[in-house]
Amino acid sequence: MHEGTVKTIKGEDGDVIDCVDINKQPAFNHPLLKSHTIQMKTHVHSSGTESENNHNILFQSWHKNGECPEGTIPILRTPHSNRRRRSYPTVSQKRRANDFSAPPALVGGQYYGARATINVWNPATYQGEFSFAQIWVGSGEGDEANTMEVGWLVNNGENKTRLFTYWTRDDYRSTGCYNLVCPGFVQTTTQISLGAAVEPVSRYGAEQFEMIITITKDKSSGNWWLLMQDQFIGYWPGSIFTSLADCSTEINWGGEITNSEFAGHHTSTQMGSGHFPEESFGKACFFRKIGYVDESGNMRDPKDLQVYVTKPPCYDLRFAKYEGDGISFYFGGPGYSDKCP
C-alpha cells in the first residue's frame, strides 16, 4: 500500500489501485520538490492542445469498482521496472547544423511539446520483453540526455495493454522511472492511473481504438504537462531536468521492442499490431496527426522528418496520406522469421 492511501480499489483485470492523498504522492519525495506547490491549473495556450472528437474512448476497468475521491490520485501497485536498450523504428524531428541554412540560434530546434493519435493494440511479447508505441520528447546528448516519454506498452506476454510514462535526466543511468514508481512526475487527475491497463484494444480487421497524447510546456511555471484525450493528467516539473528545463531539441514518434535473443535468434516479440505497415488501416498499427508545439504555443506539422528503422525485415515504417489526418505513418512487424533471423 502506498503512503497516504485513503482508499483501495481492485479492478476486474487484477490491477490494484491505491487512492493516495495528492499531497503525499511519490513526487514530493524528490529532493528538488520538497517545497514544491502543486500546479492544479495550467496556462498553456488552448490551441496548442486541441484534438479531434473521438468516440472510440479508452477505459481503465478499475473504474467499474469505484472512484478515487477528490483530493487523491489513483496509483497502481506495481513492482519496479528497469529500462532496457531496444530495437526501434521511429520518426524523428531533430534539427541539426547540417540540416538547415539558418542562424546559429536556430540550430538544434526549440520545441515546447508534441502530440500524436496512437492506434492501440496488444502485440505478443515473450521472455520478459516489452513492446512500446510512444512519443519521446528529449534534449541533451550522452550522459546529459533528458527525455519525457508516454504511450502504451505490453510486457512479458501480458494480455493487457498499459498506459505508461517515463522520464530521465541522465540517459537512463540513475534517474527517472516509469509512471509514479519514483519521485518526479506530479499527477493531478483522479481519473487516470499511470501504468494501469487500458481497454478496449484494436483487433485485426475490426474496430480500431486510439489514444490522443499531448505533451506541452507551460512557460510561466516551467512545467511540462501531459494530456490524454484532452484531459490534463499531470506534469513533469521543469526543475527535475537539466537540458529539458527550457525546451526540447528532439522529438520522436514510433515503436520499440526489447530483443533478448533468448532462443539464439531475433525475438518473436511483435511491434505495433504484429503486422507490417503495408497491410494498412485496420491491420497495421499507426500514428496520425503527429505534431509539435512551437515557441508561441501553437501546434505545428513537423517538417524535414528523419526516419530510423533499425531492422526493416523485422519491423518497418511507411508514411500514409489520408485527408484530415495530417502527417501519419504505419509501423511495426512480427519479429522473428526467415527474413528476420
Active-site residue set: 149, 256
| Length reported for the chain | 341
- The three three-digit cell numbers of residue 140, written as one number: 541533451
C-alpha cell at 145: 540526455
Going through the chain in order, the beta strands assigned E by DSSP cover 5-10, 16-21, 72-76, 89-94, 113-119, 130-139, 146-155, 161-168, 177-178, 186-187, 197-198, 210-218, 223-228, 231-236, 250-257, 285-293, 299-300, 306-309, 316-320, 328-332
3-state secondary structure of 329: strand
Residues contacting residue 131 through CB under 8 Å, at least 6 positions apart: 123, 125, 153, 154, 255, 256, 257, 269, 270, 271, 272
- 141 CB contacts (<8 Å, ≥6 apart)? none
Distance of alpha carbon 225 from the chain centroid: 12
All cell numbers assigned to 247: 525546451
CB of 224 within 8 A of CB of 61?
no
Residue 333, SS3? Answer: strand
